[in-house]
Amino acid sequence: MTLRKPSAPRDTEARIGSVPAGEALPEWDLRDLYAGPEDPRLLGDLDAAETAARAFEGGHAGRLASLSGDALDAALREYERVEEVLGRVMSYAQLLFSGDAQDAGNGRFYQTMQERVTSIGSHLLFFTLELNRLDDTLLEARIASSPALARWRPWLRDLRVFRPHQLSDEVEKLLHEKEVTGRSAWNRLFDETIAHMRVPVSRGGAPEEMTVSAALNLLSDRDRSVREAAATGISKAFGENVRLFSLITNTLAKDKEIIDGWRNYPRPGTSRNRANMVEDEVVDALVSAVVESFPRLSHRYYAMKAKWLGLERMKHWDRNAPLPGDMDRTIPWKDAREQVLTAYNAFSPELASLGRDFFDKPWIDAALRPGKASGAFAHPTVPSAHPYLLVNYHGKSRDVMTLAHELGHGVHQRLAAKQGYLMSGTPLTLAETASVFGEMLTFRAMLDAETDPKRRRLMLASKVEDMLNTVVRQIAFYRFETLLHDERRKGELSSERIAEIWMGVQRESLGPAFDFTPDYGVYWSYIPHFIHTPFYVYAYAFGDCLVNALYGVYQDGEVKDFATKYLDLLRAGGTLRHQELLAPFGLNASDPKFWKRGLDVIAGFIDELEASPGQADG
């Protein structure tokens, strides 16, 4: 069963501020999917999908090898049609739950839909398993005989990547049906726990009970005492729940080890890399390049920042502190919209037109409210509908960057939709391309429009911090996951041991400018990526370095009709691999120099900051 999922929520520690006074922020309207949990159309879709899935299984199970090429194409089209119905239902359930995870009804509805969709999907599971058992010669003969079937070649190619790791039909069906009481149930427990948690923050008076998202936002407050109070409260709240989060993490890591062992994956990250259609060696090259660059990137920048803040050494709550003189203005929503769309339009009017629909129609949820998912994501839903964006807009420049990022996901998903439900999804290594490129377009436009040299330096420093959060921090997350999963194979890890691993990678990645207090040892437990999408996080660094290289090609004018080729890259969805997509731009991710080129962009920004006088005084 193929269910398209939202982009993973981004790390939200750097999001600060409050809603501009008197401004109403948009909330999405999910009626383009369904009118509500009791919508007769939703219930009818489920019943029809179940009938179709049973008929599909009855008519095709055990017979694929005997089908002609055209008949196999017809079967694929019917399979995709039913999958898209199930995808629409689960998209609606996921979005409803993300909008308010505190609502017990939303949680029950989400679980009920997962169970029903999983049950229906059990009747479709045979199809991909049986396709993978077809002999290569037979399948190629069918493709050669049918131009209609040939259209599915990219999907069949990607499906057969998992052929060596496929288990018997009975085991695959068991794993499929137990998902709702396994990983999915632990995911829901994590989400609902975070949504219901309250963080005590003392700011001179009685402690204020805040949501996790609101408390994390205060880690970027201008007042150092407020940042420390928020950090103390976060440590207390997560410390009180650390046994539960340790149990969830240990259980899911063991679950992954068991399944990886059955599927003969050589290491914990391999299954994610297979899904991303990228070789283990390419990911290793990226990680090695970033780790080797820690001293010239994060260590160097944070040493400068400590001096700018007048500190001998920083605490963890100083990492995202505003710089001296950085009076980050509150940006109204309408101005954020204009800044992002203007930047997109300068690059490509078509891109801006696709993006404008998200604002003109109720496709964005930017409002701040209890129970809403923290961070930001773009959900592709299904090609017969449209994506939805979730952001938590506090009115700061970094929120504008987040909006530009998620809008990039949204327009990418719309452009790729023509590939159909099964082939429009993009591997995670390329899923961040449009989002990070959209961020870069918006940042460059804002930087070029700023005439005050002091303000430009502050904007540049802010961008460096965002890039360090995207590249250095995410690779540190990846290393934490790798070390944790490797050690979990020897036995369950205590919360104290998990904290030691976390603190080790933080010291390694952020450098000697920081003096980490012991209470920072629980901060691993709020990161949703570790629970929802293990080993996802390197995709952020992959995307950032890829876009740095891609944007360099654009700026240098090395490729004729760059914008046209770029939109073609987005339209390809999941039909092409990274080597094919980057070839028109003269780039190759398998070349070690490729990653250095991307990291050099960040180092160049830091060089520019070092050479800029007056930074410390703002």
- Over the stretch 351-381, which tens digit does the pLDDT of each residue have? 999 999 999 999 999 999 988 988 899 999 9
- What does the pLDDT read at residue 429? 76
pLDDT for res 207? 86
pLDDT at 213: 86
Considering Cα of 454, then 456, then 458, then 461, what sign does the dihedral take?
Answer: negative
Q: Could you report the per-residue pLDDT of 179-193, keeping only the tens digit for each?
A: 989 999 999 999 999
For residue 550, report the phi and psi dihedrals to the nearest 5 degrees: -65, -45
Q: How confident is the model at residue 328 (pLDDT cuts 50, 70, 90)?
A: low
Contact 215, 229 (CB under 8 A): no
Please report, rounded to a whole number, the percentage of residues in the chain having pLDDT higher than 70: 95
- Asked if 475 and 290 touch (Cβ cutoff 8 Å), the reply is yes
Mean pLDDT in residue range 139-159: 96
Residue 475 pLDDT more than 70?
Answer: yes
- Lowest average pLDDT, out of 166-170, 185-189, 323-327, 330-334, goes to 323-327
Measure the CA–CA gap between 536 and 470, rounded to whole angstroms: 12
Across the chain, what does the average pLDDT equal?
92
pLDDT band at 4 (very low <50, low <70, confident <90, very high): low
Amino acid at position 58, single letter = G
pLDDT exceeds 70 at position 28: yes
Determine the average pLDDT of the residues in 554-571: 93
The C-alpha atoms of residue 7 and residue 431 are separated, in whole angstroms, by: 8
- Residue 155 makes CB contacts below 8 A (sequence gap 6+) with 76, 422, 423, 574
Residue 402 pLDDT exceeds 60: yes
For residue 123, the SS3 value is coil
Given a cut of 90, is residue 335 above it in pLDDT?
Answer: yes
pLDDT at 426: 86
Local structure of residue 295 (DSSP, 8 states): I
Task: Give the pLDDT confidence score for residue 611 in this predicted structure.
Answer: 86
Give the CA distances from residue 329 to residues 17, 323, 464, 465, in Å, rounded to whole numbers and listed in that order.
10, 13, 19, 18
Percent of the chain at pLDDT > 90 equals: 77
Whether residue 13 has pLDDT greater than 70: no
Distance CA 302, CA 127 (A): 53
* Number of neighbours of residue 362 by Cβ within 10 angstroms: 15
- Tell me the pLDDT tens digit for each residue of 571-610: 999 999 888 999 999 998 878 788 988 999 999 999 989 8
C-alpha closest to that of 578 among 595, 563, 562 = 595
Does position 1 have pLDDT exceeding 60, yes or no?
no
Decide if pLDDT at 618 tops 50: no
Q: Given a cut of 90, is residue 98 above it in pLDDT?
A: yes
Residue 107 has pLDDT above 50, yes or no: yes
Question: Can you name the residues that pair with 114 across neighbouring β-strands?
Answer: none
Phi-psi group of 577: left, alpha or beta (phi > 0 → left; psi -120 to 50 → alpha; rest → beta): beta
Q: Is a pLDDT exceeding 90 seen at residue 165? A: yes
pLDDT bracket for residue 67 (50, 70, 90): very high
| Residue whose entry in the numeric block shows the structure tokens 């739950």 | 97
Question: Residue 3 has what pLDDT?
Answer: 59
Q: State the DSSP H helix or E strand holding residue 202, giving kind and residue range, or none if neither.
A: none
CA–CA–CA angle 278, 279, 283 (5° rounding): 85
What is the band of 141 on the pLDDT scale with cuts at 50, 70, 90?
Answer: very high
Mean pLDDT value of segment 276-303 = 93
For residue 564, the model assigns a pLDDT of: 96
Could you give phi then psi for residue 29, rounded to 5 degrees? -120, 110
Q: What is the end-to-end Cα distance of the chain in Å, rounded?
A: 55
Taking the domain 33-181, which CATH number applies? 1.20.140.70
Q: Which of 67-76, 317-326, 420-429 has the highest mean pLDDT?
A: 67-76
> Which among 191, 186, 209, 189 is positioned nearest to 199, based on CA atoms?
209
Low-confidence winner among 9-13, 73-77, 270-274, 445-449 (lowest mean pLDDT): 9-13
Q: Which of 580, 577, 590 is nearest to 157 (CA)?
A: 577
Give residue-wise pLDDT tens across range 476-528. 999 999 999 999 999 999 999 999 999 999 999 999 999 999 999 999 999 99
**pLDDT at res. 15:** 39
Confidence of residue 398 (pLDDT cuts 50, 70, 90): confident
- Model confidence at 22, pLDDT cuts 50, 70, 90, reads low
pLDDT, one tens digit per residue, over 201-217 is 998 778 899 999 889 98
Residue 12 has pLDDT above 50, yes or no: no
471, 467, 522, 475: which is closest to 495 by C-alpha?
Answer: 522
Residue 279: what pLDDT? 86
Burial class (CB in 10 A: 0-12, 13-18, 19+), 478: buried
Residue 115 identity (one-letter amino acid)? E
Strands 199-201 and 388-390, sheet pairing:
unpaired
Tell me the DSSP string of 327-356.
Answer: ------HHHHHHHHHHHHHHH-HHHHHHHH
Q: How confident is the model at residue 6 (pLDDT cuts 50, 70, 90)?
A: low
Measure the CA–CA gap between 511 and 32, rounded to whole angstroms.
Answer: 48
Q: pLDDT at position 206, please?
A: 80
Nearest to 82 by CA among 108, 37, 52: 52
* pLDDT value at 617 more than 70: no
Query: Given a cut of 70, is residue 18 above it in pLDDT?
Result: no
Q: What is the pLDDT of residue 552?
A: 87
**CA 426/CA 412 separation, integer angstroms:** 9
Residue 17 pLDDT greater than 50, yes or no: no
The pLDDT, as a whole number, for residue 616 is: 45
Q: Which tokens in the block code for residue 428?
A: 């995670």
What does the domain layout of the chain look like in residue ranges? 33-181
Taking residues 438-447, report their average pLDDT.
93
Q: Between 399 and 5, whose confidence is greater?
A: 399
Contacts 24+ apart (CB under 8 A), 100-105: 100/369, 100/370, 100/371, 100/372, 101/191, 101/192, 101/194, 101/195, 101/371, 101/372, 101/373, 102/195, 102/196, 102/370, 102/371, 103/371, 105/37
- The answer to whether 232 and 519 are in contact (CB under 8 A) is yes
